[in-house]
Amino acid sequence: MCLRWLLDNDHDEEGLVVLANLHGGGDVHNERAVNEYRDIKAAVLMERQEGERSYADMFKRYKKRLFIAMSAQAFAQLNGINVISYYVGCAYTRVRLCLLTNFRHLLCLSKLDGLVDKPFS
């Protein structure tokens, strides 16, 4: 589970064990793990005091930031760059094979095939 969720829901011992495994090799008395635990717990308690933490509150408080972030993501999806990035490797491989095959045919037609030591593939 998420460390901040553990500390926010008062599972402090489990959160400290997670930090000890991460920083102290399992030692819950490790100085770095204990200091980070205190910092995260203090931040969680401060967030609790600020008030409600819901999606509705987030939309009210950060309307402009959310609009910019959501617009950027929508435009990224609409321009199709994700699809292009995903399939570009396959497309380049096919183009390369096609060009090499055509080059091989040109060599055969021009009777220069015997000059080439390695076959193209």
Can you give the pTM of this predicted structure? Answer: 0.47
54: tokens are: 């819901």
Q: Could you list the mean pLDDT of each consecutive 10-residue stretch along the chain, which spans 121 residues?
A: 85 91 87 92 88 78 91 83 73 66 57 51 51
Query: What is the sign, positive or negative, of the torsion defined by CA atoms of 52, 54, 59, 65?
Result: positive
**Helix/strand/coil for 50:** helix
Within 10 angstroms of residue 18's Cβ, the number of other Cβ atoms is: 18
